[in-house]
Amino acid sequence: METDAIICFETHVELKTKTKLFCDCLVRYNAPPNSQICPVCTGQPGVLPALNKRAVEYTIRAGLAFNCTINRQSRFARKNYFYPDLPKGYQISQYERPFCENGYLEIPGDNGQPYAVGIKRIHLEEDAGKLVHSSSSFEASDYSLVDYNRSGVPLLEIVTDHERNPLRSLNEARVYLEKLRQTLKYVEISDCIIEKGQFRCDVNISIRPKGSQGFGNRAEIKNMASFRFMMDALEYEIKRQSEILQAGGQVEQETRLFDEEERVTIPMRSKEDAPDYRYFPDPDLVDIEIDEEYVRSIESSMPELPEQTVYRLTEDFGIPKDDALILAKNKSMAGFFGACAEYCEDTTRLSRWIIKDLFKLLNEVRLPIEKCPVTPQDFSKLINHLSRGEVTDRIGRTVLGEMFRTGGSPEAIINEKGLRPIQDTGVLREILDEVMAANPQAVSKIRRGEVEPINFLIGEVMRKSNGRANPAKVRDLIRREIVLDNA
């Protein structure tokens, strides 16, 4: 029996607002425990929440980026459960009438065609506090501490649809998460730093016989700490459930944990359903009316989406689409390209050099482009020297390496290191003569009409001149000295 997987994500994304969702405590990562708290976000009696308008704006921005309907009326609900990190005994979330519904995110599907992954809803809610256990193993802890700094921080919950174009494979799941994160960063509503807990996923997986329209029982895996773990857990779970189905068994509906050591999922508890949370509208918060004009004003000030960047890079700068896709993966990278392109004569050469050479240097020292020691002005000056043939590619690489280490300008480095190309034909000819004298066999092969040894001689001249010779000029000289001489 062949099987299909259905994968649904609930992704929690921390919005980058200055203050929390219902009070004016600051959102600060790594602040001393319980230093960013007040009576509202610690759930003390007699206080009232006041909604952060910026968080609503960011939610609508997400809704627009993911092609959702923006509900004209929206409301907050209480999700009731007990846990020590939740001081009120409920989380302010949304249930009926979230801000955004029925959207999609287009990804390249497994069949090579664009696939519009259904997004069921995007709602806004508050984060809980953080428990710190005295031992890394929960069971062995003598005591646990609670830090409420994170309590009340605004979160978006983005839920994919299990009926309308769900994710069907491990690969589609990976592509979806990457595109989701990329888009959120592009519209500047979250930094999505996984290590800081700004992008957390719960995932639901179920399996059904190929072609079947029903839904099997699903297993949920909660709060995975990295992309790697998420993919490992998904892969394991798809295999586990398929095997149960193949053997004629039934999958339990349950919440499972991913054991990072053993790389397996293990049962945690039977899965809770919505009624378990006794949702009801929060009486402390009024319904929110969102008018057309407000949505339009957010739409008109929206930062560019990844597709728009790719379009701009190919249309305005004429660079190949594959290059544009690579540059646009990271908004800051596309920004660096744009800043350089202003000064550059050859934008395709520019994109090649960013992708091949600058990426390599940045990766070697694990530096993000934002901290690149080479300014766009200097980088584009170097590219202009290259496109005018004033330095060879090989010297260009040396110069770039030096610029990267010292932050110096290309001219200063070229002068200081004596890297000016050899312009004097007499000097080039001298080097070539030496090379020819040392390689008489190559010379006679060229005389007999072979082409390959020409490249060998050029390579030798480049080596002897420390890359300062212009290869085109050397080829020309070889033609004149050997080939034409022969004719």
Catalog residues that contact Mn ion under the rule CB under 5 A.
Answer: 157
Q: Is 384 helix (H, G, I), strand (E, B) or coil?
A: helix
Distance of alpha carbon 16 from alpha carbon 23, whole angstroms? 15
Q: In angstroms, what is the minimal distance from the CB of 184 to Mn ion?
A: 16
Q: Among 13, 15, 23, 70, which residue sits at the site for Zn ion (rule: CB under 5 A)?
A: 23
Q: How far is the CB of 183 from Mn ion (least distance, A)?
A: 19
Q: Which is nearer to Mn ion, 98 or 396 (CB)?
A: 98
Q: Is 25 in the site for Zn ion (CB under 5 A)?
A: yes
Which span sits near Zn ion by CB under 5 A: 39-47, 180-188, 331-339, 429-437?
39-47
Q: Which of 197, 183, 203 is nearest to 128 (CA)?
A: 197
In whole angstroms, how close is the CB of 94 to Mn ion at the nearest point? 9
The owner of tokens 């989380």 is 91
| Closer residue to Zn ion in complex, CB, 43/281 | 43
Residue 285 contacts which entry, Mn ion, Zn ion, none (Cβ below 5-8 A, type-dependent):
none
Q: Which is nearer to Mn ion, 61 or 79 (CB)?
A: 79
Q: How many residues does the chain have?
A: 487
Phi, psi of 322 (to 5 degrees): -60, -40
Buried b (16+ CB within 10 A) or exposed e, 35-74: ebbeebbbbeeebebebbebbbbbbbbbbbbbebebbeeb
Please state, in angstroms and rounded to a whole number, the distance separating the CA atoms of residues 89 and 157: 20
Q: Give me the amino acid identity at 55.
A: A
The C-alpha atoms of residue 151 and residue 393 are separated, in whole angstroms, by 54
Residues 6+ apart with CB under 8 A from 439: 453, 456, 457, 460
Q: Which residue of 27, 41, 341, 458 would you call a contact of Zn ion, by CB under 5 A?
A: 41
Q: Considering Cα of 329, then 335, then 340, then 344, what sign does the dihedral take?
A: positive
Q: Is 55 in the site for Zn ion (CB under 5 A)?
A: no
Give which of Zn ion, Mn ion, none residue 310 binds (C-beta under 5 to 8 Å, depending on kind). none
Q: Which is nearer to Mn ion, 222 or 240 (CB)?
A: 222
Provide, rounded to whole angstroms, the least separation between the CB of residue 31 and Zn ion: 12
CB of 33 to Zn ion, least distance (A): 14
Binding site partner of 319, from Mn ion, Zn ion, none, Cβ cut-off 5-8 A by kind: none
Contact (CB, 8 A) for 22 and 126:
yes
Q: Which partner from the list Mn ion, Zn ion, none does 7 bind, CB cut-off 5 to 8 Å by kind?
A: none
Min. distance of Cβ 209 from Mn ion in angstroms? 31
Task: Answer yes or no whether residue 68 interacts with Zn ion by CB under 5 A.
Answer: no
> Which partner in Zn ion, Mn ion, none is near 23 (CB below 5 to 8 A by kind)?
Zn ion
Neighbours of 194 (CB within 10 A): 15
Tell me the per-residue interface mask from 143 to 172 with Zn ion, x by CB under 5 A, - otherwise: ------------------------------
Please say which residue, 157 or 357, places its beta carbon nearer to Mn ion.
157
With tokens 């509900």, the residue in question is 71
- Range 419-458 burial, b when 16+ CB lie within 10 A, else e: bebbeeeeebeebbeebbeebeebbebbeeeeeebbeebb
Residue 428: contacted member of Zn ion, Mn ion, none (CB under 5 to 8 Å, by partner type): none
Of Mn ion, Zn ion, none, which one does residue 157 interact with (CB within 5 to 8 Å by kind)? Mn ion
Nearest distance from C-beta of residue 98 to Mn ion, angstroms: 11
- Residue selected from 31, 38, 225, 268 as contacting Zn ion according to rule CB under 5 A: 38
Q: Minimum distance from CB of 104 to Mn ion (Å)? A: 21
Question: Tokens 């968080």 — which residue?
Answer: 55
31 part of the interface to Zn ion, by CB under 5 A: no
Task: Indicate whether 92 belongs to the interface with Zn ion (CB under 5 A).
Answer: no
| Minimum gap (Å) between residue 157 Cβ and Mn ion | 4
- CA dihedral of 435, 440, 443, 448, whole degrees rounded to 10: -170
Using CB under 5 A, list all residues that contact Zn ion: 23, 25, 38, 40-41
